[in-house]
Amino acid sequence: MSAEAPGRRRDAARSRELLLTAASELFAERGFDRTTIRDIGERAGVDPALIARYFGSKTLLYVAALNAEQGDAALADLFDEQRLRQVFDRADRRGPVPLLQVAVQPLSDPAAQDAARSALHARLVEPLQERLTREGAERPRLRAELVAAAVTGILLGRHSGAFDELAQADPGDLIELLRSTLLREE
């Protein structure tokens, strides 16, 4: 006989998904350091102790959230207009996600910092570095990091409240301006 109350059967996959979704939202809103396990459990509507069961720790949940954001598809580089539009659209829809935030403020947990840094490089820097290397550009890693840092700064600036015109500008206009200045292929 089960110790579970009738009608209250646990759905592990659903609880795990709820925790992952809640964590992704809260990490985007508050960042890693200001998000608590209790907050994640409350937002998910499940016992926060399940984080330890399904993910092992808040840090490993953060890593899972970063991995869930990327998915399995290979990423085009930031010179690709469609890829750049996806990056802008995601940031406008979800705000400054943890991946962007880590570019300007390190996390207190070294494992979370390493995971976020790796994800940032894998998604924004490395695809562009590979393209620049194929094209024979000088210092492809530095150039790719420069472009990624500029795009990150623009996206964070749009949501900071410090730049009125930048915040109100149409993403398509920003992408066009960005491509015609910083991302100009020579």
**Sequence spans of domains, the chain:** 12-65, 73-181
**pLDDT of the residue at 68:** 80
| CA–CA separation, 60 and 99 (whole Å) | 15
Question: What is the arithmetic mean of pLDDT over 13-29?
Answer: 90
**pLDDT of the residue at 10:** 66
The pLDDT of residue 184 is above 80: no
Average confidence score pLDDT of the chain: 85
Q: Give the residue, 75 or 59, on which the prediction is more confident.
A: 59
What is the percent of the chain where pLDDT is above 90?
A: 41
Confidence of residue 126 (pLDDT cuts 50, 70, 90): very high
The pLDDT of residue 54 is above 60: yes
**Does the domain spanning 12-65 belong to CATH 1.10.10.60?**
yes
| CA–CA separation, 19 and 116 (whole Å) | 19
The pLDDT of residue 51 is above 50: yes
Q: Tell me the pLDDT tens digit for each residue of 90-106.
A: 888 777 677 777 788 88
**pLDDT of the residue at 72:** 56
Question: What is the arithmetic mean of pLDDT over 25-50?
Answer: 90
**pLDDT of the residue at 3:** 47
Residues 103/155, Cβ–Cβ less than 8 Å: no
CA torsion angle 59 64 69 70 (round to 10): 110
**pLDDT of the residue at 71:** 61
CA 150 to centroid of chain Cα atoms:
16
Q: Considering Cα of 118, then 120, then 122, then 128, what sign does the dihedral take?
A: negative
Buried/exposed 75-99: b ≥16 CB within 10 Å, e otherwise: bebbbeeebbeebbeebeeebbbbb
